[in-house]
A = this chain, B = another copy of it.
Amino acid sequence: MPIGKERLDKQMEFIREVDGLKGISRRSFILDGSRNENDAEHSWHLALMAFLLSEHSNDPDIDLPKVIRMLLIHDIVEIDAGDTFAYDEEGNKTKVERERECANRIFNILPQDQARELLSLWEEFEARETKEARFAASLDRLQPIMLNHGTGGRTWREHGVLADQVRARNEHIREGSETIWKHTCGIIEDSVRKGYLEE
């Protein structure tokens, strides 16, 4: 088998495998309130947000294409591990291990060089130490808060989440963007004012 064909076959197998991300349901609702959002849509929304909002990053020299690649792949590990709700303390204890297992299985469908590249991008996102990972994480937190605000705080109310939990769990947004953190605080205050979120 020619090397080119073998590479493309592996890449296409991975591309079919990640179709499963369209079936991973999140706690957030899409803005028309008709149903829960899924991870594939969420990843698209974040990648587009990175493209439009990179000027608000704390670091003006951010590598935007890298942020976008990171966001396109950041939730793929949930195909086996499922989505863990940000405010689920029990679930978050086993999240790292469950996601690591999926990462090892799924990225290794790809040719070795690409498997390494995607694993390394995902690890960088999770570690939140580089400017790209910090900015990507800011967007990953802003987006569900925006959806929650736009659907009358539905997810917060369903799960009894309080304003201080939202502030504490999301304050690291400021490590990626002080501007976006300020904007997020405005959304949280407005949610409290409108009764979508309890103090």
User: Residues on A close to B: CB < 8 A?
Assistant: 4, 7-8, 11-12, 14-16, 18-23, 30-32, 34, 37-38, 40-41, 43-45, 47-49, 51-53, 55-56, 64-65, 68-69, 72-73, 110, 114, 146-147, 150, 179-180, 183
Contacts and interface: CB of A to CB of B under 8 A. Distances in A.
B41 A30 contact: no
Nearest to A63: B65
SS class, residues of chain A in contact with chain B: helix
A96 to B, nearest CB: 23
B30 A19 contact: yes
Residue of A20, A23, A40 with most partner-chain B CB within 10 A? A40
A66 B48 CA distance: 12
Contacts of A14: 52
Give the number of times this chain occurs in the complex, counting copies.
2
Contacts of A20: 31-32
A11 B45 CA distance: 13
Interface core residue of A4, A7, A12 (most chain B CB under 10 Å) = A12
Contact of A44 (B65, B72, B147): B72
Contacts of A4: 56, 179
B31 A19 contact: yes
A188 to B, nearest CB: 14
B44 A47 contact: yes
B51 A22 contact: no
* Of listed A14, A48, A114, residue having the most chain B CB within 10 A: A48
A135 to B, nearest CB: 14
B51 A72 contact: yes
